[in-house]
Every structure is written in C-alpha cells, then in structure tokens.
Structure 1
Amino acid sequence: MIIVEEVQNEKHKKEFLEFPAQLYLHDKHYIRPLNKHIEEIFDPQKSKFFKYGTCKRFLFKKNHKTVGKVAVFINTCYEQKQPTGGFGFFDCIDDQQTANFIFDHCKNWLQEKGMEAMDGPINFGERDKFWGLLIEGFTEPLFGMNYNPPYYKELFENYGFQIYFEQFCFTRPIFAEVSRVFTIAYERNRRNPAISAQPMKKNNLKKFAKDFTEVYNKAWASHGEGKHIEEAKVLKMFNTMKPIINEHISWFVYENEKPIAMWINLPDLNQWFKYLNGKFGFFEKIKFLWLKEFKKNEKMVGLVFGIVPEWQKKGIDGYMIWKGTQHLREHTDFTTTELQWIGDFNPKMIKIAEALDTTVTRKLATYRYLFDRNKEFERHPIL
C-alpha cells in the first residue's frame, strides 16, 4: 500500500531533496541541483508564480520508505486550448504501478480544480529550467536541466502520456570551422558602418538589460504562448547573474545605437556545482569561488538568441556568431557550446542551430495527458 504525504515541514522538505540523490546514487552522470534552487521554486515569498496559481508537493511511501515524489500545480501564465495543469520534480523507483499511482494522484488533484489535461514533467516557473523529460543523451545535465534515468520514458508512455513537443539540445565544438554562410554574412555586414557588435559588460548592465528587453520583446513575445518581459525584471536577472557572467561570450548587435540582435551565453554552472552535493552554505560558497577561479570550465551554454523582425534573413546572425566566436576563442577556455533546448515547434531556431553545424546531443520531451481519453490529441502548434 502506498501512503501519500504532503510536503509540509522541514523533515518532508529534506526528504524531497534527498530522495533523488539516493535514487541516482550509482549514476555517474547525475548532478545534484542546489537545494536552494529547488526550494526557491516552492517558496511563495520568492516565487512570483504563486500569484498566478497554486502548487503542492507530495512524497509517496511504501513500507515507510520513500518510493516517489512530485510537485503538482496550476500556472495560469501559460495559455492552453483547454484548462491544463502541470507537474514536475517527478522521481520514482522503476515500477509502473508506483508511477501510475503518482500520475493518478496528480490527475485527481488537477481534476478537482477544473483542469482537463496535465503536462509534465515541467516547472512551476519559466521554461528555461527543469522542463521536460530526458529521452535521449543521458550525459551530465546542464545547469537547470532535468535529468532522469531511461526507464522514465516507459513509465510515462505506458500510463498514456503523449509527446506534446520535443526539445532539442545542440552542441558544437568552439574551434570547429564556422559555416561559410556565416562567414559571408559577416563580411557583408561588417562593411556597413551603421552595424557594430559589442560584448556584454558587467559595469553597464542597466544598458544591456534595456537592449535585451527591446530585442526580446520584438523577436519573441508574439510567438505562441510568449509574454512580454519587463526591463526591471531583466535587470534584476542580470544583477543576479553578475558573479558568473563571462564578458567575452554574450553579444549584442546594433544599427547605430539601436539594438537589433543578441546572443546570450553563460558558463555551465554544473561544471562547478557538481562538486557541492546540493549544498551552498558558507563553506560551499568558498569552495565555489575556489573552483570558479582555478577549475577550468570548458562548457558554455547558449541561453537566448534573437533578432528583431526587420533584420531577420539579412545575415545578422552570421555576423554576430562569426565575430563572437573569433573573440571567445582568443579570450576564454571554452571548448564546447551547447544551445539550451529548442522546441520542435520552432523551426526557425532549429535552422539557425543546424546552420552552425551543430549536432543534437540530447533530447527532452514535454508530455501531455488528456483526461478525456476520447478527445483528439494535438501537438504544440508550429510557430
């Protein structure tokens, strides 16, 4: 018999954090997320998403031993064709009956609140972290990326989940030859005196936050379920990122003084966090600073790439990538870059990634389950 316990006290919170470490004890690729990054998601004082929805966490026990966990939630920030809830931070032993029990619990909880479908595993937050089930490429996860054993795919699909969209991660060696198409685009645009490229600098984050906001809202906000982003929020994000910003790897392109494109990258923090075992107290912070200073990080992560509509298909992507790549080759230790996931519903970005001569090195999937099993299933619309 499986017992359900809602996460309500410090003992429950600790078990929610510790269970994955036990489950993946012998998995050499698993990197434990920092406890603080998980707990902040479920803290109403720190997560804005409690203003737009509700969330509960549960532990599942059999014979007094934890066999699974999950967070289930409603987030009204994302518009869907039918009322759709979500769940994430799912972990489970390799047992279909146990997984079915957890999925049923999520379904019942959401149905009671008027939902007609559920997506998972997703985040009670933005799509840039803890989103999707790993189905190919079981290697060390990037910072903020879900990781799970291969058997999870069967647990989901045997229950009846269907893929709502696939998420591709593309990798490219930094010193591989830049595409000839991009080289030509660079040569063409560099002769235009109005066009210039600048790396992001820590001492002027207010300016770059403003430029990011302008490019993002023009390039992305009108896409599907996208939302306009506020400059104040971007500046807060940049200030939070400031200690780990590398000034050689994030670039903006301008027409005169007007921002028209951006390419935002960060070092992969998991290359340092994997030595901290989920903790970030005083001693771990000292260790992190030491690692950051002396432990070479050879992997960077592409977070956002955007070009304003009036400059798309004019080679600005090639200009920015060629100039940025030449610079970071000279000034950094990075040997590989991995583009954060791109959904199969975004063929434009996939084409850009492919034009970089990248290789798909991992694939995740966002699954959907319709409560009315007679209703026609539809995948995420193409942008």
Structure 2
Amino acid sequence: MIIVEEVQNEKQKEEFLEFPVQLYQNDKNYIRPLNKHIEEIFDPQKNRFFKDGECARFLFKRNHKTVGKVAVFVNSHYKQNQPTGGIGFFDCIHDQETANFIFDHCKSWLLERNMEAMDGPINFGERDKFWGLLIEGFIEPLFGMNYNLPYYKELFENYGFQIYFEQLCFTRPVFAEVSRIFRIAHEKNRRNPAISAQPLKKNNLKKFAKDFTEVYNKAWASHGEGKQLDETKVLKMFHTMKPIINEHISWFVYENEKPIAMWINLPDLNQWFKYLDGKFGLFEKLKFLVLKRFKKNEKMVGLVFGVVPEWQKKGIDGYMIWEGTQHLRKHTDFTTTELQWIGDFNPKMIKIAEALDTTVTRKLATYRYLFDRKKEFLRHPSL
C-alpha cells in the first residue's frame, strides 16, 4: 500500500531533496542541483507564478520508505489548446505500478482544478530550467537541465503519455574548424568600417543590457511564443549573472553605435556545482569561489543568439562567430560549446544550430497526457 504525503514541513522538504540522491547514487553522470534552486521554485515569495497559479509537492511511501515524489501545478500563463496542468520533479523507483499510482494522483489533483491534460516533466516557471525528460544522451547535464534514469521513458510512455515535442541539445568543439562560409562572411563584414564587435564587459552592464534588449526584441519577440523583454528586468538579470560572467565569451556586433547582433554564453555552472553536494551555505560559497578561481571549466553554454531583421542573411552571424571564436580560443580554457535545447517545432533555430556544424548530443521530451483518451492527440505546432 502506498501512502501519500503532501510536502509541508521541513523534514518532508528535506526528503523531497534527498530522495533522488539515493536513486542516482551509482550514476556517475548525475549532478545534484543546488537545493536552493529547487526550493526557490516552491517559494511563493520568490516564484511569481504563484500569483496566478497553484502548486503542491508530494512524497509517496511504501512501508515507511519513499518510493517516489512529484510536484503538480496549474499555471494560468501556460496557454494550450485545452486547460493543461503540469507535473515536474518526478522521481520514482523502477516500478510501473508505483509510477502509475503517482500519475493517477496528479491526474486527480488536476481534474479537481478543471484541467483536461497534463504535461511533464515541466517546471512551475519558465522553460529555461528543469524542463523535459531525458530520452537520449545520458551524459552529464548542464546547469538547470533535467537529468533522469533511462527507465523513466518507459514509466511515462507505458502510462499513456505521448511526446508533445522533442528538445534537441547541440554541441560543438571550440577548436573544430569554423565553416568557410562564416570566415568569408567575416572577411566581408570586417572590411566595412561601420561594423565592429565588442565583448560584454562587467563594468558597463547598463549599456549591454540595453543593447541586448534591443536586439532580442527585434530578432525574437515576433517569432512564435516570443515576448517583449523589459530593459529594467534584463539589467537586473545581468547583475544577477555578474559573478559568473566571462567577459571573453559573450559578444555584440554594432553598425556604428547601433547594436545589430548578439551572442550570449556563460560557463556551465554544473562543472563547479557538482562538487557542492546540493548545498550553498557559507562553506560551499567559499568552496565555489576557490573552484571558480582554480578549477578549469571547459564547457560554455550558448544561451541566446540573435540578429536584427535588417541584418539577417548578410553574414553578420558569421562575422560575430568567427570574431568571438578567435578571441575565446586565445583567452579561455573552454573546449566545448553547448547550446540550450531547441524545440523540434522551431525549424528556423534548428537550421541556425546546424549551420554552426554542431551535433545533437542530448534529446529530451516534453510529454502530454490527455485525460479524454478519445480526443485526438496533436504535437506542438511548428513555428
């Protein structure tokens, strides 16, 4: 018999965080997320989605031993064809009956809130963290990326979940040959005296936040599910990232003083966080500073890449990539560039990634389960 406990007290919160450690103790690729990054998601004071949503966490126990956990939530900002709730932070022993019990519990919780489907595993927040189930490429996860045991795919699909969209993760060696097309584009634009490239500098975050906002809103906000960014919020985000910004790996291109392209990268924090065992108290903060100073980080993660419409298809992307690549090869220890996941519904962005001579090294999936089993299942529409 399985007993359900809603996570409410400190002991239950600790168990929610510690249970995965037991499951993954023999998995050399597992990197434990920081506890604080998970707990912030479930803190109404820190997660703005609580203003228009509801979330609960549950532990599932058999014979007083935890056999599974999950978070289930509704989010009014998550607009879908039918009212759709979410489940996330799912972990379970290798047992279909236990998984089915957990999924049934989530379904009942969501039905009580008039939902007609559930997606998972997803985050009670933005798509940039803890989103999707790893189905291919069981290697070390990047910071904020979900990681799970291979049998989870069976647990989801045997219950009846279907893939709503796949999330492709691309990798490229820093010292791999850069496309001849990019080098030609670089040479062409290099001869234009109005064009220049600049790395992001920590001492002028206000300028670069303004330039980032301008390029992003022109390049991406009109595409699919894009949205306008606010300069004030971007500046706040830049200040939050300041301690981990590497000034050699994020670049902007200008036509005279006007920003026309940007390429934003950060070091993969998991290359340092994996030594902290999920904690980030005073000792761990000091340890992090030491690691950051002395431990080589060879992975950088591409977060955003954009060119304003009037400069697209003019080779400015090649100019920026070759300009930045030549510089970072000389001034950093990075050997690998990782791209954040791209949905299979976004062929334009996939083409950009492929043009960079990348390879797909991981594949995650966002699953959907329709409560009306007779309703036609539709994949995520293409952009």
Identify the TM-score tier after normalising by the shorter chain.
over 0.9
Q: Distance in 2 between matches of 1:348 and 1:265?
A: 20
Residue type of the alignment partner of 2:372: D
- The total of aligned residue pairs comes to 383
Gaps of 5+ in 2: none
Given the alignment of the two structures, is residue 143 of structure 1 paired with residue 143 of structure 2, yes or no?
A: yes
RMSD: 1.0
Q: Which moved more, 1:134-143 or 1:111-120?
A: 111-120
Residues 136-177 of structure 1 deviation map (CA, whole Å, 9 limit, x = unaligned): 000110000000010000001111111111111111110110
Q: Distance in 2 between matches of 1:271 and 1:36?
A: 17
Q: Distance in 1 between matches of 2:102 and 2:308?
A: 44
Q: Distance in 2 between matches of 1:73 and 1:307?
A: 36
- The answer for the alignment partner of 1:314 in structure 2 is 314
Q: Distance in 2 between matches of 1:226 and 1:162?
A: 25
- The answer for the alignment partner of 1:236 in structure 2 is 236
CA-CA distance at 1:355 after TM superposition: 1.2
Contact between 1:117 and 1:369, CA under 8 Å: does it hold in 2? yes
Q: Secondary structure at the match of 1:98?
A: helix
- The answer for the alignment partner of 1:356 in structure 2 is 356
After superposition, residues 185-334 of structure 1 pair within 5 angstroms as 185-334=185-334
Contact between 1:132 and 1:366, CA under 8 Å: does it hold in 2? yes
Q: Distance in 2 between matches of 1:68 and 1:220?
A: 39
Contact between 1:79 and 1:225, CA under 8 Å: does it hold in 2? no
- The answer for the alignment partner of 1:80 in structure 2 is 80
TM-score (norm 2): 0.98
TM-score (norm 1): 0.98
Q: Secondary structure at the match of 1:118?
A: strand
Q: Give the fraction of aligned pairs with identical amino acids, expressed as a percent.
A: 87
Q: Distance in 1 between matches of 2:260 and 2:115?
A: 40
Residues 17-70 of structure 1 deviation map (CA, whole Å, 9 limit, x = unaligned): 000111101110000000001001111111111112111111111111111111
Contact between 1:166 and 1:364, CA under 8 Å: does it hold in 2? yes
Q: Secondary structure at the match of 1:185?
A: helix
Contact between 1:90 and 1:121, CA under 8 Å: does it hold in 2? yes
After superposition, residues 75-114 of structure 1 pair within 5 angstroms as 75-114=75-114
Q: Distance in 2 between matches of 1:197 and 1:379?
A: 40
Gaps of 5+ in 1: none
Q: Secondary structure at the match of 1:89?
A: strand
- The answer for the alignment partner of 2:13 in structure 1 is 13
Q: Distance in 2 between matches of 1:189 and 1:80?
A: 43
- The answer for the alignment partner of 1:163 in structure 2 is 163
Q: Distance in 1 between matches of 2:219 and 2:248?
A: 23
CA-CA distance at 1:84 after TM superposition: 1.0
Q: Distance in 2 between matches of 1:54 and 1:259?
A: 40
CA-CA distance at 1:78 after TM superposition: 2.7
